[in-house]
Amino acid sequence: MVILPHTPIRLTSTNTTFIRPFLSSANILKKLVYPMFLTLALFTLQNASNQFLASPEEAYSGVSKNNAEKIFSIQTAINAAVDGDTIYVPSGTYMENLKINKSVKLIANGTVELTPVNPGESVIEILKDNVFLTGFTILNARGICGIRVKRSVGYRIIGNRILGGDYGLLINSSSRGLVEENDVKGCLFGIYFQESSEDTIVRNNVETSKYGIILSLCLSSTVFRNRVVNCTYGLYNHISDRSNISRNIFQNNMMGIVVARSRADKILLNEALDNFYGMHIDYAQGIITYGNIVMGGLIGVKIQNSQNITITNNTACFSTNNIAIESSVNITILKNTLMNAKGHGVTMYETFNSTLSMNTVSFCRVGISIENSRSTTIVNNSLKQNSYGLFLFRSSEAKLFSNKCDNSTVADFYSEGAEKIIVKKLEINAYGNINEISFTYQGDVSIKGSRPIELETVRLLGGFLNITLSSGGWIRLNLTYNLKDIQDIRKEEPVLYHWTGNGWKTVRGSLKEESSLKGSASFLLTETGIYVLGAGEKTVEQFPPVIGVLIVIILVISSYTLLRTLKRRELKAGLFSCFFSFSQHFPYDCYQVGHSTISH
């Protein structure tokens, strides 16, 4: 028997049922308590919509404490209730296992601690629709389950604390329920949903459990604004389709978010901080991840054995690998910001038909790495201050269009053992103009910007490129230049210059005028070295300044002489003769003719 410090208080609706006190003496029970409850019952029947408050003093009026053992229980109140009733439980410590098999509201009126009599059973078991449970603290250190919901529709479990047990909160075969603002700690399974649908899990806190929140064989669940900390698995979404996982915080877990064998889930605006794996998607289809922040750990976002996955507008940083894709198909990586990876911003291994577009990758060892993959499109990405910008290894049929590599320390573009690669409009900071280069190649190749080497007699049309080729490899390099840059050059023919180590050697190629503004040049390269695109010998601006000054002085003197001559009308014949001599023998003969005429 348990001595309760207070009597449970019950609020009736249209039906009236009373919580009956049980005393150790049957005579006292008959003589004192029954008449009192009968009087109150008659009063309540006349005022059915009012609250019925039974305080300990009212229940035990005129009864000695030594003779009146209080054995009121919450289960007694539940048994006496009918559907629609509300049961208020006063503060105190209760030792019970509760079975709620009626559609009632069970509300803790103060601090209510509940410890199981039988740890092998659930402390609270909900077996009916539309049950409302709030405010309880469940101490279940060695028990099986804190709160279990079975085959219930429309249940609400709000604001409870569950400490310990194999299962903190277990929901089986239920639907359209609400689990809100509960605090679950120290369980094997924190909040576990199984074979349920359309449930909402919102603003719960789960700590120090092996599994924080689990969805298994569920449909259309909503997981919103929860906090899961120091667990092995933060959220484990297993064979659960159309889950909406948004605005949660997963911190210091082994795995932040795991989605396995599921379809059409949305992972939106979550924070995964300092987890070993921030997000892990395995054997999944049609998953969308949008706007998440993933920081720290071994891998920020890991995708494997999956297809039709979209990773967009996420921020991942300070992981060894920010995004890692393996053995997957149709992966789209779009508009993500990836920074400060010790390894890769994006690494893709054995993946087919995927697209990386408009991502910004900076301060990583390798910006984007494609290995043993096929049919990958890499377009409009910005890669800044990485060791390697774009890295291809044993891959084929890749298309790289309009990417920008800025200040890569080792190589802007590196390829080893790759086949059928098309690179167009790759921008490289080549210590001159920003180069926009396109190329195809065979063998291994490394390209990056190089520091300038003196080339005084040529106008530069592009920056300096450092190109490394493997033995037997070649590269077909296509360079675009502005036609206006060669209009005032004596020899209007772009040439690729190759630095041999001792001097510059010209590499002839084919030229093409693409438009009235731009032209292009194509060169086949088979040698390693530094290359630069230039044109002409010396421009007008490159003549020594002394020659320019002398020309100006001569023009001024001759102009003055002509003006004086024109004032003399009588010397028209001499004027025309002087003008003709000036045009043919400038400046000496003009002076002689004029002088001779004046003297005569």
Q: What is the pLDDT along the chain (600 residues), one digit of tens a residue?
A: 233 344 444 444 434 333 333 333 344 334 444 444 433 433 333 333 323 223 333 333 333 333 333 446 899 999 999 999 999 999 999 999 999 999 999 999 999 999 999 999 999 999 999 999 999 999 998 899 999 999 999 999 999 999 999 999 999 999 999 999 999 999 999 999 999 999 999 999 999 999 999 999 999 999 999 999 999 999 999 999 999 999 999 999 999 999 999 999 999 999 999 999 999 999 999 999 999 999 999 999 999 999 999 999 999 999 999 999 999 999 999 999 999 999 999 999 999 999 999 999 999 999 999 999 999 999 999 999 999 999 999 999 999 999 999 889 999 999 999 888 999 999 998 887 767 899 999 999 999 998 888 887 788 888 899 999 999 899 999 988 888 888 777 666 788 999 988 889 999 889 888 888 888 889 999 999 999 998 876 443 444 454 555 666 776 676 667 666 665 555 455 544 544 444 444 443 433 433 333 333
**Is 405 contained in some domain?**
no
Q: What backbone phi and psi angles, to 5 degrees, belong to 415?
A: -140, 135
Please tell me whether residues 527 and 571 are part of one structural domain.
no
Q: Which residues pair with 529 in a beta bridge?
A: 467
Domain containing 566 equals 546-599
Q: Which residues pair with 437 in a beta bridge?
A: 426, 479
**Is 5 contained in some domain?**
yes
pTM (two decimals): 0.79
Number of domain units in the chain? 3
pLDDT at site 456: 78
**Is 175 contained in some domain?**
no
Please tell me whether residues 571 and 500 are part of one structural domain.
no
- Whether the upstream peptide bond of residue 21 has omega within 30° of 0, thus cis, is no
Q: Which residues pair with 547 in a beta bridge?
A: none
**Is 318 contained in some domain?**
no
**Is 572 contained in some domain?**
yes
Question: At which of 101, 134, 150 does a domain end?
Answer: 101
Please tell me whether residues 570 and 535 are part of one structural domain.
no
**Is 469 contained in some domain?**
yes
**Is 64 contained in some domain?**
yes
Question: At which of 73, 101, 129 does a domain end?
Answer: 101
Contact 355, 339 (CB under 8 A): no
Question: At which of 75, 101, 127 does a domain end?
Answer: 101
Please tell me whether residues 18 and 81 are part of one structural domain.
yes
Please tell me whether residues 94 and 35 are part of one structural domain.
yes
What 370-377 contacts at long range (C-beta under 8 Å, 24+ apart), as own/partner pairs, is 370/395, 370/398, 371/347, 371/395, 373/348, 373/349, 373/398, 376/348, 376/351, 377/401
Q: Among 103, 96, 112, which residue's Cα sits nearest to residue 161?
A: 112
